[in-house]
Amino acid sequence: MTLEFEGTVPNSLAQEQLARIKKWLDDIEKFFLWHVLTDQMTPVIEATWLTNAEMLLKVVSSQLEEVHRLVARGDSNLESKSG
């Protein structure tokens, strides 16, 4: 998954949040999901890995909502290009 944005982010808080969000999405894709797809796991262990990925995804979602609020307030001129 690629998270792309168009514009600038003068708000340093939003910049930090976006950097953190990108790192967390990479962690989900390249660590959690990669292991689930490539490792031999029992159903219980696989469920645990997916639960952890889901928890991190909820954090990412919350952070994206916060960035969206910053953008909506006009604290930056950032626009999402992702679907």
Domain segments of the chain as ranges: 12-76
State the average pLDDT for the chain.
78
C-alpha angle 30-14-53 in degrees, rounded to nearest 5: 25
The whole-model pTM stands at 0.64
pLDDT at 3: 54
- Average pLDDT in the 16-37 region? 87
Q: In the structure encoding, which two tokens stand for residue 9, read together?
A: 């982010």
Q: Of all residues in the chain, what percent carry a pLDDT higher than 70?
A: 73
Q: pLDDT class for 4, splitting at 50, 70, 90?
A: low
82: amino acid identity, one letter: S
Q: pLDDT class for 45, splitting at 50, 70, 90?
A: very high
